[in-house]
Amino acid sequence: MKLNRKVIIPNELGLHARAAAKIARLAEEARSKVYIVKDDQEVDATDILDLMALYCPSGTEVLIKITVPGDAKVLNRIARLIETGFGEL
């Protein structure tokens, strides 16, 4: 089972505060840690400020990473949220 998944941020505003809050809400449902990775920066997906500090404009590739296979549904839900532009497309 995959413990990570790459996605590209498609929406025009990128990963902004509302989008980060949506990711954080989903990540809080996980039994263990969920991370978002951009380049060499890895942040806790439940931390809105850390997510925004990654600076992810439209077109940025990020990696969603989980630490426990049982959280695969959370990983897939976050990936789907990002791929659909956080409901903004």
Nearest to 76 by CA among 40, 29, 10: 29
Residue 13: CB atoms within 10 A of its CB come to 14
Contact assessment for residue 54 and residue 43, using Cβ atoms and an 8 Å cutoff: yes
Residue 16 appears among annotated catalytic residues: yes
**Of these residues, 5, 11, 16, 67, which one is catalytic?**
16
- How many angstroms separate the CA atoms of 80 and 43, rounded? 19
The residues that are catalytic are 16
